[in-house]
Structures are given as C-alpha cells and as structure tokens.
Structure 1
Amino acid sequence: METRKLLFEENEDTRLDVFLKQYFKDKSRSHIQKLIEEKLVTVNGKIKKSNYKLKFNDEVSVILKEPVSLNIEPEEIPLDVLYEDRDVIVVNKPQGMVVHPAAGIKTGTLVNALLSYCSDLSGINGVTRPGIVHRIDKDTSGILVVAKNDNSHNKLAEQLKDHSMTREYIALVEGVLKEEKGTIDKPIARHPKDKIKMAVVLNGKRAVTHYSVIERFKNNTLVKCVLETGRTHQIRVHMAYIGHPLVGDPVYGYKKQRFKLEGQLLHARKLGFIHPSTGKYIEFETEIPEYFKRIINILKKENN
C-alpha cells in the first residue's frame, strides 16, 4: 500500500476528481472516483467528495492499494468476435455469460475467455476486469468493446463519461405502449430496501433512456432503447418504472411469466465509438439471438 501526498498550487478552484485525473494520467476517471468513494482520498486530513473544490495550498493524500492477487484462469470459451485490432476487441456476448469474475464467480466469464483469446488487455480495472470498459448484465446479450491497452481504455471510458458512445438495445416489454416514442429521465440508485435491486430514487444518479416502438403485439411491445447514460440495470429499471417491465426479467418483471426464459429479452444490438487511435467513428450491429426471434415469431402469429 502506497500513500501519495499532493499539494494543490493552482489559483483557481478545481474539482477534486479533475485534479486527481490530471495527476494520475494512466487511470480512468471512474477509477479516480472509486478511490474517492472508498475514502482512500483525503484533503487536509478530511474525507471529501468528488465535486469538492480544491483551494490553494490544500494537501491531498491518496492511498493506492496493491493489486489483489487473484488466480483468474484463462478458459477456452468460444467468443463471437465482431472486430479486432491492436487497440480494441468488439465481441457479441451471449445470454448467460457474466462479464467479469466477482464474489463466488471465478470461471465461465467473458474475462476468462478473453485471457485465453488475447494476451494484451488493459490493466486499468485490475486483475479481475482486464480490458473491461463497460458491462452488460449476465442475461443480456449483445455487443461490448474491450480495451487492449490503457490508452484505449482511457479514451473509451471518456466517451462513456461524456455520453458520446452509441449504445442501442432491443427489448420486448410487457403491455402495449400507446406513444410512439419517449424519454425516461429518472435518477437510479440502489433500492433502499432490497440491495439486490436498483430503483428510481430521488437522490440517485441521473439516468436517461430514449425509447421508440418497433412493433406492437396483443400484449407486448418490441422497443428500441438508446442509452444516454449507463446506470446498472438502467433499461430494466426504467421500463418497469413506466409500467412496462421486460419480458423474462426475473428481478423487475412480472412474477408470472408466460414464456420459459433464462432471463430478460434484452439485446445490445448496436455499439458505436470513436476509435482511440484513428479518431474515426466506427459502429457495429448484430441481430437478436434465436431464442429472442422465437418469441417474436410466436407473437407475430398471434397478431394475424
């Protein structure tokens, strides 16, 4: 464990997280904010939040933990690689695969597969999440971009932060939406009573989902959802909030499900970003999985 002591010598007030990002150029902003949230950063000996405005001669202390030594083994798990170069890998994750190891989960993850497939992955998020810039839920299928080096990781993380990355999902929801499109701008945080769930909470982090109707069925609606922000379970929470939970969702959906599914019908169909080296915008798109198509075909037949 190492402690860095920094002296703020600027004349203009600066946010704590911005100052630390300027100093630790090899770390992402989310990593900096995590250090602050874990109370590993003090200003003049006191715990402060990310938005604290530093003043001339403030002393900032940062405790840097040693990387946790965990034995995450490479596994030869098939990967659907859509694109790869020296900076990034774009993969189509199947339903049922966890993105990275966590408590009680050390095998069968996307990270285990990536470690077998590729020896070069960014180390910004530590030994359990090499290369992982963003996540999608275990039972959500679709496109993810993985960083092969720290420079790529930082540039992709900044695009997530400033909402410039294109992230489009296809979802099947319960009920028939009346309006053709809409925007849900409601803050999300951990559920105050059920820690497994997220919820719309007054003092939560801002979350914005844009949705539009693709097709209506007798009792369901196929929708396109575009993320402006990327909170945990965002689409699942927002659609449930407006009374249209996702079909198959075991957490936010109906208790009585018509179809026997392994999880929610949600697919990350499109992902676009500025390439970290070329500076050019690139975009990838995939079809919904077969199990998703099967349910849509059943509903189409019922419409006729």
Structure 2
Amino acid sequence: MVKVSPEIIFENDHFIVINKPPGLLSIPDREGKEISLKQMLQQKYGEIYTVHRLDRETSGIIVFAKDSETHKFLSQAFEDRTVEKYYVGIVSGTLPEKQKTIEASIRESTVKRGLMLIHKNGKPAITDYEVVEEFGKFSFLQFRIHTGRTHQIRVHMQYVGHPLVCDELYGDGIPVKISSFKRNYKLSKYEEEEKPILARTGLHAQRLRFTDMLGKEYDLQAEMPKDMRALLQQLRKNS
C-alpha cells in the first residue's frame, strides 16, 4: 500500500497536476478494493475528472480536471495530440540506434486481458526515444509519445528487444539489485539478504507541455522518485 501523500506540482481553480508515486492506481480498477489517486483527490476536492492515466507502477506527472468544461477541453487536447508528453525510463541492454521513432500499432490481446500486443489491426502508436546514458547491461532513455495507447512505451520497448527493467508483463520482471551489475558485491554483516534497488517497472512520466482553455501555456515537470534515482546513481558509480 502506498503511504506517501501525492505531491502537488501545480494547481488552479480548473485542474490539478500531481507527481503520482509508483504503486498507486491512477483511477479505481474493476475490483475497487484499493484506494486510487482519483479517490484521494475526491476526498479532498469533491468533484474530480479523469483526463488521462498512468499505469500503477509508472510514477510521474498526471492531470485531473476540477470541472466538466476543463475536463472536456483537456481530454480533447490529449486526443488531438496537442499535449507534449515526455517520459524517462531504464531499459535492458544497449541500443544500437541511439535515437529512433517507433511506429507500431497496438491492440489488446484476445487471449490475455490487460496484455497489449503489436498488431497490424491495432490502433496507431508512435514513440520517440533517445538514449541519455549507457551502462552496458542497462540504458537510461528519454521518450516522447505522440499517441496515448495503453502500455505504449512498455510494448514498444519490448518490440525493439530492450524492455523496461522489472517489467513483469513485457520484460523479465526481475527486481534490480546492486549484485546484478557490481562485481564482487558483498552483503553487509547486518543484511540477511540483498534488497532490490528497483522492484517496479522503471518508467517515469517526467514532463507535460500543454495550453489551457484561456490560451495559457504550461510546461510542468515531475521529479523522478527515489527508487529510479538510486538505481541511476549506483549504475553511474559502477559502470
């Protein structure tokens, strides 16, 4: 269960922008047993409208509207692709192409609910990536998505053979520990077993650029959470 209270990046009378912690649902799921970010905001503000969402394990920037007019406007902006969406992520391996646009249509599996696949009859999906840093076994990437398909970055990175680290659906799902990349790693005498540095999909929604109903422009960013920062710090030290 997520204990941290979500950090507010920006707020006005019409919408609120949050840095969602990893492990927290954006909106209630079908079972409705777990608290979601939307419900937390409803408890505080009453009426809250979903504009877009992030996967449970993905951290980062997310917008909710406070009134139906703003909701309609912002939802349309996402639909029309006028919102610029940037992510950062840690993937497996070293990519031969340091910058690339992946265009591959995505649809849900007919066999396994919730699993998305590359399929010629799917919805168009476009992801740009750029390699920011390389660590041999892992690479740190920046992404810009031009469409908002479910699991888009995760599916596209699996498609090019470099899935996001710790991704249970599209990668190996194995938590990253220091011993997996540091030679001669030894446990301290106080530890019975090594704890992973990162144990969730290594993806963070970093930045949104958009214009509101009054024509005001916003360029908002969400700081990466501790787990991804800690892994990058260790990779830089040991690469």
- TM-score norm. by structure 1 comes to 0.69
2:211 to 253, 256, 274: 274
Deviations 1:218-252 (A, max 9, x none): 11110001010000000000001000000011111
Mapped to 2, the partners of 1:93 and 1:137 lie a distance apart of: 10
**1:151-192: CA deviation from partner (whole Å, max 9, x where unpaired):** 101111111111110110000000101222000100000124
SS in 1 for 2:123: coil
1:193 is matched with which residue?
111
Deviation at 1:214, TM superposition (A): 0.6
Give me the whole-angstrom Cα distance separating, in 2, the residues matched to 1:107 and 1:204: 31
State the partner residue of 1:167: 85
Matched, 1:105 2:23: no
CA contact (8 A) 1:215 1:221 kept: yes
Alpha-carbon shift at residue 256 of structure 1 (Å): 4.5
Structure 2 runs not aligned, ≥5 long: 178-195
Aligned to 1:94: 21
2:201 aligned with 1:264: yes
Q: Secondary structure at the match of 2:6?
A: coil
Structure 1 residue runs of 4+, over 4 Å off? none
1:180 equivalenced with 2:98 (yes/no): yes
The Cα shift of 1:106 comes to 3.8
Alignment of 1:93-242 (within 5 A): 93-121=20-48, 131-242=49-160
Paired residues in the alignment total: 218
C-alpha separation between the residues in 1 aligned to 2:69 and 2:5?
27
CA RMSD, Structure 1 to Structure 2 (Å): 1.6
Supply the distance in 1 between the matched residues of 2:134 and 2:202 (Cα, whole angstroms): 15
Q: Which amino acid aligns with 2:88?
A: I
CA positional deviation for 1:196: 3.0
Structure 1: gaps of 5 or more residues: 1-75, 122-130
Contact in 2 for aligned 1:175/1:221 (Cα 8 Å): yes
Q: Percent identity?
A: 34
Q: Is the 8 A contact 2:166 2:173 kept in 1?
A: no
Q: Which has the larger radius of gyration?
A: 1
Any idea what SS the aligned residue of 2:60 has? strand
**Cα shift at 1:255:** 5.0
Rounded to whole Å, the distance in 2 between the matches of 1:226 and 1:95 is 20
**CA 77–180 in structure 1, closer or farther in 2 if over 3 Å, else same:** closer
Deviation at 1:105, TM superposition (A): 2.3
Q: Secondary structure at the match of 2:55?
A: coil
Question: d(CA) in 2 for partners of 1:132 and 1:274?
Answer: 17
State the secondary structure of the residue aligned to 1:83: strand
